[in-house]
Amino acid sequence: MTVLITGANRGIGRALFDRYADVIGTCRGSAPETPHGEWLTLDVTSTASVQQLSNDIGQRPIDLLICNAGVYADKGDTLGAGFEPEKWAATFAANVTGVFLTIEALLPNLRQAEQPKIAIISSKMGSDSRAPGGSYIYRASKAAALNLGRNLATDLKPEGIALGIYHPGWVRTDMGGPEGDITLEQSAPGLMRRFEALSCDTTGIFEAWDGEIIPF
């Protein structure tokens, strides 16, 4: 099984990369040195970079595409002191448009796999049913990614491509911060079990790393 993970050089992406055998990781800058796997350059906000990734992959089948690359530019911002328009544009370019462009570019490779799957790493912060306030840009982008994933799941199901949207937990990473509830050693294996369980019968699911179903 060949797995491709965007934003795999750190955090959750790197933890997943380290646990898959036949794996391709992408990153914007210099690739880290790893004892296994393959690294390719990708900036999900650049159409040219996404096209280059498609060219680099060629005709190889992709069994599992994990859309993990993303940003949290407004962390800590407050009303009247943050949420600049530039942050909105950059966040949606990475967390929403970048997900769509990557999936669209790699559909030919997914179609060549026997049981192709797409996993969008999102957040329960994108749930419309949970609105504790704050982080407006990040929450809005994750809500948009959830809507995107749900609609893609509907359109891709007839082709036998399953798609799930996943909350990795509040993980202690550079993005999640040291206050996180769980570790990478908990989140990554949990996510892998959710990806394994994904099928066209459950396509469009929105769930957490531990199997909790998250309300839309």
User: Is 215 domain-assigned?
Assistant: no
Q: Is residue 186 part of a domain?
A: yes
Domain that includes residue 169, residue range: 3-208
**Number of domains present in the structure of the chain:** 1
What pLDDT does residue 144 have? Answer: 97
Q: Please indicate, yes or no, if residue 83 is contained in any of the structural domains.
A: yes
Q: How far apart are CA 178 and CA 187, in angstroms?
A: 15
CA quadruple 170, 174, 178, 182: dihedral sign: positive
- Domain presence at residue 137: yes
Please give the Cα distance from 150 to 206 (Å, whole number). Answer: 9
Work out the burial of residue 16: count CB atoms within 10 Å of its CB; fewer than 13 is exposed, 13-18 middle, 19 or more buried: buried
| Residue 216 domain flag | no
What was the pLDDT predicted at 173?
67
Average pLDDT, the chain: 95
165-187 pLDDT, tens digit per residue, is: 999 998 876 666 666 678 899 99
In angstroms, the Cα distances linking 105 to 42, 58, 59, 147 are 12, 11, 12, 19
Q: Is residue 214 part of a domain?
A: no
Decide the pairing of beta strands 38-41 and 117-121.
unpaired
CATH of the domain at 42: 3.40.50.720
Sheet holding 206-208, edge to edge: 38-41, 23-27, 3-5, 64-67, 117-121, 162-167, 206-208
Assigned domain for 168 exists: yes
For 69-128, the pLDDT digits (tens) are 999 999 999 999 999 999 999 999 999 999 999 999 999 999 999 999 999 999 999 898
Q: Is residue 81 part of a domain?
A: yes
**How much is the pLDDT for 170?**
82
